[in-house]
Structure 1
């Protein structure tokens, strides 16, 4: 027999397995001594709006019945060794899930990744953190798993229209993620666990007969008439397939230059740019959970989400938190020497003493009149110029320019900076000299508003660390709304964050699946 209950529990009742079982059985009127009684959570969310934190839980009770797996989807991967190939450029979430879906549909994926496999990639990340050396082909953005591998691993998305979120989650579980990601309203995996998970996704592709070519950069496209036939690598190798899924991520500027040079239609795209804000995690916990000391042993490190409309020179623009990482770290995310970019990540336990979040300003094309001469690459050139300026002000190393939060609002260079999770170190500067006026003015307005929304948020015990500029792609590679095919070049399928159609691990994975399905439906007679 199975019974389902909807409950409001204390953190202790929700997060201590033994107490949870006792609480659920008691609320269901079942004796604690009942043999063969199993309980589990299938949905869980934290409500901290009141003075007392409540955990909303949907629970299942099984009596004399094995609960079984929580998975509804068990993917079946065919042997595609001798099947027709499709080319997938990029081994981030979009590319890997496109490859897995192709295998499911009986088509051989050839994944081409400029970076290294996840294990080898670690050495290049260490070189950025310790020595400030940026390998343009292997860094926090490029390499197996893309930018998502070394991130918080957040698996929630606002996208509801481009795929099956539950299916993506279950594929992660089938490859080693815990079933907790199926339960939590805001699931995450953690940067310490993502590399192993990504390597298992790769193993599935290879064991099924697919190919993954690491340290292989696409330098040209094979276009005949109005149709793409394949790609050319940096070594001159020509790789052909039935179609090309372009899943290169939001930082592959050389690909945007290539498309522009080959006169493949692309478009400038609005994006967002700002800074990382770093607080002590304990402060954020006290604000969010209304506690005087610490959050206690059961509640997870708290997150926040903030948004504020601002007006500057008669123009309204949103300022919002982005990729908030509770209990996390700030990392150097540059993809070439001579630029400085920061991003955030968290381990699975989110047990760092720091909380960080991107606080970014919406940038519209009309905000960049002096960059219009660059056409479709206008936003990208603006983004790159800000990153180079941050590099200069940081001392031309990977040390990041920084300023205490109240000092920034008051236009005062900080005489000292706080401890930080950012390993390459910080350089005290006036951030208004790094950021364009329309960005810094809106940030200052928003910080004051955020301080009203979250009492204690606006404090000199927090600091701005810059710049957070890789929020999304500054370029869109257009595609047909129904077929997902490029409107000008047949068999070319722009995909994921880099093409402007996703905003995180889950939405990128869903987009990868859909692109594979659309390509195979259109051009592969043996597909499906």
Structure 2
């Protein structure tokens, strides 16, 4: 018997037998793109004639690989004797030229979605971004990958779209309690993302497609009277009598406004230093530190899909692993099927790695950050010095650079060799373009991080067949998992407790972890401005 779930109706019922029904279906991978098959399967489960189904809408789609047969599980709305009304995803914005200004520092997801929310509420966003637009930013990324040259203001972390633009565009989040996740996804679709992100359990855009979407958001903001200033670094947040008045740029220009949203991302260390100089509150925050681990994708496919060769109807396989080691969490982070390891340093003399995937996830490798919790008690200075964890993070990144030998060459080790404490004689071919150097990662990682990883990796191998192998490479270091500093804010107004009108926001302030949660936080900050 089918399970019937009553729904709110999108259309207007004119007869009582018109209805919408939502059911869950199990579909084989080779049939997931066959709308006729889905309609016929649903009609049979609902015990109605297929002719009565006037349309269907897939609400959720996920892969279930727990059994021997991998299947898709989908939740589908069936329109029975009722023509579905197409959902309108675009939004009409008023022109805000001349309206009340809101300064937004940073053009990452928090800043861009804060700007869109300003447009919705007839306020004029003024975005100030230290980096370049997405087109010009490409040249600096090419210099990073090919020459090991870091532009401190334009790199994988800084520039239009923030770190997410060239770091995969994964949209999976558990942030439903923070705000409207679906609204964020709908705005992305309205600006060019595929509607698949509205239904997939782990939505993903892809680094090759995100720049076009970011550019479309920029055009919306500018066309409706907002402002975006690229290559413009904020050097001071101006406040008088405990109230924000605007900002000062490196060029010497002042921009005034009564509201400033600080959405600079987790790598804007100069902003943290600015708070320290002004004696504004900031506090250390736990983060996670480790390595990026890369396997041949076929190993992950075989383990997760229980097959010799992945079906062409299935995407490259994903994994998520977590283990407690001596009371400390060790976990995979930002997993990139069919991905590439990227150099994400934001200054000279440091190594930072991250991962990304194109929309098709068709590279031959799978990589994931594999990191260990770093707590306040791990760095005793954190008790009296708010930047202790930030300094700790930076010291590890500098050691990685020295051990790698320069030009962003990263220290690396095969997995089994790492656990056994052996220097790898050779390293597998991998996706990290600046190059890798065989090294003992014990010379780079803090001992408690190194020891926790050594204990966790064989356990991960017991959980996932084939994971623990010398075909996998560990590349150091994965250190920018989240901000090691939190800038406090009032829980109701979201303003800094010492500076009215200043809204610490997103990942850099310690209130988000990824594209969607950062976007939600940006919108939430604008909502607090409205309801002051």
Name the TM-score, length of structure 2 as normaliser. 0.93
SS at match of 2:238: strand
- 2:169 aligns to what? 153
1:128 and 1:487 map into 2 onto residues whose CA distance is 39
1:195 to 211, 226, 230: 211
Aligned with 1:308 (options 306, 323, 336): 323
The 3 A distance-change label for structure 1 pair 221 and 356 is same
Q: Which residue of 2 aligns with 1:466?
A: 476
Mapped contact 2:105–2:262 kept (Cα < 8 A)? yes
Corresponding position of 1:359: 370
- In structure 1, the residue matched to 2:409 is 399
Give CA deviations for 1:207-233 in whole Å, capped at 9, x if unaligned: 110000000000112121211111100
- Residue 4 of structure 1 and its aligned partner are, at CA, apart by 3.2
- Partner Cα distance (2:490, 2:33) in 1: 46
Question: Aligned runs of 1:175-186 on 2, under 5 Å?
Answer: 175-186=191-202
The more displaced of 429-438 and 21-30 is 21-30
For the pair 1:6 / 2:3, whether they are aligned, the reply is: no
Q: Provide the aligned length of Structure 1 versus Structure 2.
A: 514
The corresponding residue for 2:106 is 90
Compared with structure 1, are the counterparts of its residues 279 and 17 closer, same or farther at alpha carbon in structure 2 (3 Å cutoff)?
A: farther
**Cα distance, 1:246 vs structure 2:** 0.2
How many Å separate the matches in 1 of 2:463 and 2:447? 24
Does the CA-based 8 Å contact 2:403-2:439 persist in structure 1?
yes
User: In the alignment, which of 297, 303, 319 is matched to residue 281 of structure 1?
Assistant: 297
Residue number among 27, 31, 41 corresponding to 2:58 in the alignment:
41
Q: CA–CA distance in 2 between the matches of 1:39 and 1:234? A: 55
Q: Note the C-alpha offset of 1:318.
A: 0.4
The structure-2 alpha-carbon separation of the partners of 1:92 and 1:279, relative to structure 1 and needing over 3 Å to count, comes to same
Q: 2: CA distance between counterparts of 1:31 and 1:400? A: 61
Distance 1:286 1:16 in 2: 25
Residues 66-81 of structure 1: pairs in structure 2 closer than 5 A: 66-71=83-88, 74-81=90-97
1:346 aligns with 2:357: yes
Over aligned residues, Cα RMSD in angstroms?
A: 1.7
Distance in 1 (CA, whole Å) between partners of 2:175 and 2:53 is 40
Q: Which residue of 2 aligns with 1:526?
A: none
Distance (Å, rounded) in 1 between the aligned partners of 2:309 and 2:453: 29
Offset of 1:54 from its aligned partner?
2.3
In 1: Cα distance, 2:97 partner to 2:91 partner: 18
SS at match of 2:245: strand
How far apart, in 2, do the equivalents of 1:138 and 1:233 lie?
16
Q: List aligned pairs for 1:396-435, cutoff 5 A.
A: 396-435=406-445
Task: Please report how far the alpha carbon of residue 18 of structure 1 lies from its aligned counterpart in structure 2 after TM superposition.
Answer: 5.3
* Equivalent runs, 1:327-342 vs 2, <5 Å: 327-342=338-353
Following superposition, the deviation at residue 354 of structure 1 comes to: 0.5
Distance 1:426 1:68, change over 3 A: farther
Give, in angstroms, the shift of residue 488 of structure 1.
Answer: 1.0
Question: 1:251-270 to 2 correspondence within 5 Å?
Answer: 251-270=267-286
TM-score normalised by the chain length of structure 1: 0.94
- Aligned equivalents of 1:372, 1:27: Cα separation in 2: 60
Contact (CA 8 Å) 1:98, 1:512: kept in 2 or not?
Answer: yes
1:486 partner SS = coil
Instruction: Tell me the alpha carbon deviations over residues 118-141 of structure 1, each in whole angstroms, 9 at most, x when there is no partner.
Output: 111011101100111110000000
**Deviation of 1:59 (Å):** 1.8
Does residue 299 of structure 1 match 2:314? Answer: yes
Match of 1:525 in 2: none
Deviation at 1:61, TM superposition (A): 3.4
Contact 2:54 2:83 in 1 (8 A): no
CA offsets 1:128-181 (integer angstroms, 9 cap, x no match): 001111100000000000001112211121122221111111111111111111
**The one of 51, 68, 78 aligned to 1:51:** 68
Structure 1 residues 294 and 247: alpha-carbon distance in aligned structure 2, compared to 1, 3 A threshold: same
1:21 Cα deviation after fit = 4.5
Report the Cα distance in structure 2 between the residues aligned to 1:161 and 1:122, rounded to whole angstroms: 35
Distance in 1 (alpha carbons) for counterparts of 2:499 and 2:197: 39
**Worse-matched range after superposition: 121-130 or 155-164:** 155-164
1:319 lines up with 2:330 in the alignment: yes
In structure 1, distance between residues paired with 2:261 and 2:83? 43
Distance of 1:124 and 1:25 partners within structure 2: 54
Instruction: Please name the residue that 2:517 is paired with.
Output: 507
Q: Provide the C-alpha distance between the structure 2 equivalents of 1:492 and 1:389, rounded to a whole number of angstroms.
A: 36
**Residue of structure 2 equivalent to 1:104:** 120
Mapped to 1, the partners of 2:355 and 2:440 lie a distance apart of 22
Match of 1:489 in 2: 499
Which of the residues 418, 440, 458 maps onto 1:448? 458
Q: What's the secondary structure of 2:531's corresponding residue?
A: helix
Instruction: Report the alpha carbon displacement of residue 70 of structure 1 after superposing the two structures with TM.
Output: 4.1
After TM superposition, give the deviation of residue 68 of structure 1 in Å: 3.9
Secondary structure at 2:520 match in 1: helix
Q: Distance in 2 between matches of 1:173 and 1:30?
A: 33
1:437 aligns with 2:453: no
Matches within 5 A, 1:178-257: 178-257=194-273
Consecutive unaligned residues of structure 2, counting only runs of 5 or more, are 1-17
Question: What is the DSSP-based 3-state SS (H/G/I as helix, E as strand, rest coil) of the residue aligned with 1:376?
Answer: coil
